[in-house]
Amino acid sequence: VISLTFLQAYAAPPFPPSWVPLSEKGKIPFRVTGAGDNPNLTGLYLAYMLPLLLVGWESKNGYWKKIESSCSGILFFLSLPALIFTFSRTSWVAAVFTLVFYWLPNEKGKIIRLILVIIIIICIFPPLVARILHHPFQSGTFEYRVRIWKETWGLVQKHPVTGVGKEALIFHLHHTQTMRADHLHNLYLQLIVEKGIPSLFIIFWMVYNFILIPSSRSIHQSSLLERGIRAALLGQLVAGLTESVWNPPLLHFLFWFGFALLRED
């Protein structure tokens, strides 16, 4: 994924016009789409992997562990520019939250350094400035999301408890003239529409009991892998505010695979 990202960035290939709104054309040189032909999906995958690569980097016991640590560290630093080249704001936010979750509460110095690095990158990479300073809540992509949310809210009002199911939702999206979409660009709204409001409470209960509460324990009581997985999962949940992160099979699998690893004990 990282190699393909750099190759695409070097070649500066043409990307589908829909990936860049008219107001930002000429300001963004390219958007790498990755193997999935989708910059947002590629960015979310990289954001998920960041804390896991940090785990590998910080594990240095034994000869082979040192080699693994070096490789993980290299991949971590290569992932950062690869993530930037996706120009996916949701992925950027998810990545920042992921790293903050990973370093809290006992490594606040690294969080400060992260903020300084972000400021430096913004200063030396003008396209990044254009992407960040352009009002995200006034962009065409956000307006498109809001339109989808409004169009589907009626389904929640009609079926608040049971939902309409995935097939009925897809049928509704494909046959609404004002939009053509495969998902709702919001994990939580999609859960409510498909499975009803109770499903959202179940997910919140699972996140609170199995991710947030264990995360509040002392850093010495959690292994590096546990911290990394929890940070990756929480980052994806943050991204779920503007993306249906469980719609792509890869991200859906990675989330529940990570959740299963946490419950292994």
Cβ of 127: how many Cβ atoms within 10 Å?
Answer: 15
Buried b (16+ CB within 10 A) or exposed e, 183-213: bbbbbbbbbbbbbbeebeeebeeeeeeebee
| 56-101 per-position pLDDT tens digit | 888 766 555 778 888 899 999 999 988 988 888 999 999 999 999 9
pTM value surpassing 0.75? yes
Q: Which residues of the chain have pLDDT under 50?
A: none
Taking the C-alpha atoms of residue 99 and residue 202, their distance in angstroms, rounded to an integer, is 26
